[in-house]
Amino acid sequence: MTSPADDAPHGTAPGAAAPEAAAPEVAGRRAADVVLRPLVAADLDVLEDLEEALFGAGAWSRTSLAEEITGPGRWYVGAQDRASGELVGYAGLWFDGYDGQVMTVGTRPDVQGRGVGRMLLDALLAHARELGAGDVLLEVRVDNEPALRLYEGAGFERFGRRKGYYQPENVDAWTMRRRA
């Protein structure tokens, strides 16, 4: 993830019930059955918990999260479980007028590996194209294998390394990009 602005390094017959469409298989596991929707202030409590669970010491503060989801040029989307209504993933894009920047992508640990991350990332890329972005850029911890796999699977390529980008952990970041 990228550091937020002020948190620097960091068809049914009438009357019949609608048939439940089975979620497709993802690598042998059933894909999560989620809908994507914009994030709103009412999500902050859950977002705070997800941040803590997913990023630990590098988690964004509630203030940063609140500023991010409403900030200029920002577009944040959440993945909501259809059955429970719970928010199980989220992602954000920043568009500076030229390029897009993936600010973050996160999936609740018990739902990981079921396609939610890729769905969220694809939504950010589609939005970047709608905005006319040239490239989409991101930073990712060099030791974050699931995220690297997600990004490389979506066509991102490494083009640089930022020393100690993640603080307080003092871990380097790969910078990655692809055409929007």
Ligand X SMILES: CC(C)(COP(=O)(O)OP(=O)(O)OC[C@H]1O[C@@H](n2cnc3c(N)ncnc32)[C@H](O)[C@@H]1OP(=O)(O)O)[C@@H](O)C(=O)NCCC(=O)NCCS
The residues that touch ligand X, with contacts defined as CB under 6 A, are 1, 27, 54, 104-107, 112-118, 140, 144-147, 149-150, 153
Cα-flanking dihedrals φ and ψ of residue 19, to 5°? -65, 140
> What strands lie across the sheet with 171-179, from one edge to the other?
34-38, 74-81, 87-95, 100-107, 135-141, 171-179, 157-166
Q: Which is nearer to ligand X, 105 or 133 (CB)?
A: 105
Question: Smallest distance from the beta carbon of 118 to ligand X, in angstroms?
Answer: 3
Q: Nearest-CB residue to ligand X?
A: 117
Question: Smallest distance from the beta carbon of 114 to ligand X, in angstroms?
Answer: 5
Hey, how many other C-beta atoms are within 10 angstroms of the C-beta on 137?
19
> What DSSP assignment string belongs to 134-156?
SEEEEEEETT-HHHHHHHHHTT-
Question: Smallest distance from the beta carbon of 111 to ligand X, in angstroms?
Answer: 6
Q: Which is nearer to ligand X, 132 or 143 (CB)?
A: 143
| Cis ω before 168 (30° cut-off from 0) | yes
Q: Which is nearer to ligand X, 57 or 132 (CB)?
A: 57
Question: Smallest distance from the beta carbon of 148 to ligand X, in angstroms?
Answer: 8
Question: Smallest distance from the beta carbon of 151 to ligand X, in angstroms?
Answer: 8
Two structure tokens written together for 143: 């030791």
Q: Which is nearer to ligand X, 95 or 139 (CB)?
A: 139
Q: Which is nearer to ligand X, 3 or 180 (CB)?
A: 3
Q: Which is nearer to ligand X, 5 or 26 (CB)?
A: 26
> What DSSP assignment string belongs to 29-76?
EEPP-EEEEE--GGGHHHHHHHHHHHHGGGPPPHHHHHHHHHSTTEEE
Question: Smallest distance from the beta carbon of 16 to ligand X, in angstroms?
Answer: 33
